[in-house]
A = this chain, B = another copy of it.
Amino acid sequence: MIRMTNGNLTLLEFALIGLTAQSPKSGYDVQQVFETTEMRQFSSSPGSIYPALKRLERRGLLASEAEASGDRTRRVYRPTETGHERLAAWVVASVTVEEIREEGRAPILRFAFLGAVDADRRSVERFLRSYRESLEVYEGELRSVAEEMAGHTSPYPRLAVLHGIEQVRAQRSWAVRTMRQMGFTKDEDGP
């Protein structure tokens, strides 16, 4: 279930670049985030975090320096310029229906990192607009699927699809509300 989201970086790797872009972090810091915040989807075990950080440093996407706090070594990572560019490109990309279909929570993870890459208003607006539009398309797809399932023997798969529809509707209304709160007009796709 390792999802290649862009080029050849895993979701975990983007998360690590994003977190160190918010503020430079050690492996332990990252571990705390994965344990205590809504990023629990990622394993907080050192066996996944430390190798991934080293990998990203070897690939030139992260850089580290040893901080001596007392006697303990503490290796703090931050994105390189290349790493930051890769992150930014990933974060500000428009949301597609495919991404929603196949990667579930990836769009909202990207959204959470918009601040870490100093996205401008246009990018944020494009993100939210594309998210809302893609969700609309996806909701239509799910409605068709649910209709086709009307006569099936077991009601549970169809009810599960209705569950998906509810979720998509909630995500869409969040997108609309957030756009309004940020002062983006709901329609008007361009002059």
A residues engaging B (CB < 8 A)? 1-3, 10-12, 22, 37-38, 40-43, 101-102, 104-105, 108-109, 111-116, 142, 145, 153-157, 159-164, 166-167, 169-171, 173-174, 178
Contact B1 A12 (CB under 8 A): yes
Q: How far is the CA of A156 from the CA of B145 in the complex (A)?
A: 33
**This protein's copies in its complex:** 2
Contact A111 B156 (CB under 8 A): yes
Contact A145 B37 (CB under 8 A): yes
A102-B41 CB under 8 A given contacts A115-B156, A171-B166: yes
Contact B38 A160 (CB under 8 A): yes
Q: Which residues of B contact A162 (CB under 8 A)?
A: 174, 178
Partner of A159, one of B10, B105, B178: B178
Q: Which residues of B contact A104 (CB under 8 A)?
A: 41, 104-105
A162 to chain B, nearest CB (A): 7
Q: Which residues of B contact A166 (CB under 8 A)?
A: 170-171, 173-174
Q: How far is the CA of A61 from the CA of B55 in the complex (A)?
A: 37
Contact B156 A38 (CB under 8 A): no
7 closest A-B pairs by beta carbon, nearest first, are A115-B154, A170-B170, A112-B160, A166-B170, A166-B174, A114-B156, A115-B156
Q: How far is the CA of A3 from the CA of B154 in the complex (A)?
A: 27
Q: How far is the CA of A145 from the CA of B171 in the complex (A)?
A: 19
Q: How far is the CA of A161 from the CA of B160 in the complex (A)?
A: 24
Q: Which residues of B contact A109 (CB under 8 A)?
A: 160
Contact A142 B38 (CB under 8 A): yes
